[in-house]
């Protein structure tokens, strides 16, 4: 009986270690692919679509699947991703500028920019949340519609995700080294958690065997 219990604990530990290894491997591949500005968001989208397989320990050749999803995401979303990147930089500079200034105009500007930033981040997390179930012929417009609908239906869960991501950025400001192990994984895991609060994702064909 004790041997069976010990073997069960060993298998559980090995399963957790395998999960951590798969997640760190995906994070590393994400970092490599996101070096180019135009590839940043396609890499994040590819990570999001592969993440459920890593968490479920389905092992459908994760690396091969990531590259396949990355090519798919780049073909369909590179322009939208580039626009999102430019908009994010502009919004970040705007926030930093008004935070560092004085006067009554600052209060008005931050009263507009802070909720706007939260809404954009929430929409982005919603897009990540619905990505694993998006069809192969998805477009930027259809993804935006699906994300917007998700945001409207699950606003409280998305708001929690926005707070969680904001907390991560505050932690990252104090410990920049965490960027290496969480820059792609943290938003992906938050979006995955948001998606799990709604419904169970239909199980896809696992495809190829393990790595």
61/150: higher pLDDT:
150
Nearest Cα residue to 165 out of 130, 197, 125: 125
Q: What are phi and psi of 42, to 5 degrees?
A: -55, -35
pTM value is: 0.86
Tokens 């500005």 belong to residue = 37
Largest CA distance in the chain: 72
State yes or no: pLDDT of 10 exceeds 80. Answer: no
What is the rounded distance in angstroms from the CA atom of residue 38 to the CA atom of residue 75? Answer: 11
CB contact at 8 A, 114 and 88: no
Q: What is the pLDDT of residues 120-178, one digit of tens each?
A: 999 999 999 999 999 999 999 999 999 999 999 999 999 999 999 999 999 998 999 99
73, 34 in Cβ contact below 8 A?
no
Q: Answer positive or negative: Cα dihedral of 192, 193, 194, 198.
A: positive
Are 210 and 64 in contact, with CB atoms under 8 Å apart? Answer: no
Query: Residue 206 pLDDT > 90, yes or no?
Result: no
Q: Whole-angstrom Cα distance, residue 58 to residue 130?
A: 20
């Amino acid at each position: 009986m004790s041997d069976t219990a010990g073997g069960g604990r060993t298998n559980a530990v090995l399963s957790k270690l395998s999960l951590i290894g798969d997640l760190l491997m995906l994070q590393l591949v994400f970092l490599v692919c996101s070096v180019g500005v135009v590839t940043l968001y396609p890499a994040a989208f590819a990570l999001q679509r592969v993440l459920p397989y890593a968490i479920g320990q389905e092992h459908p050749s994760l690396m091969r699947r990531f590259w396949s999803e990355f090519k798919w995401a780049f073909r369909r979303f590179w322009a939208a991703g580039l626009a999102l990147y430019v908009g994010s930089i502009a919004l970040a500079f705007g926030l930093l500028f008004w935070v560092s200034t004085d006067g009554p105009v600052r209060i008005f500007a931050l009263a507009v920019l802070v909720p706007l930033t939260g809404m954009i981040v929430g929409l982005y997390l919603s897009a990540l949340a619905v990505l694993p179930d998006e069809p192969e012929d998805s477009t930027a417009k259809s993804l935006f519609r699906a994300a917007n609908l998700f945001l409207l239906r699950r606003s409280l869960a998305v708001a929690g995700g926005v707070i969680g991501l904001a907390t991560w950025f505050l932690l990252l400001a104090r410990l920049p080294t965490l960027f290496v192990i969480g820059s792609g994984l943290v938003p992906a895991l938050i979006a995955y958690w948001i998606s799990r609060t709604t419904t169970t994702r239909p199980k896809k064909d696992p495809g190829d065997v393990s790595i």
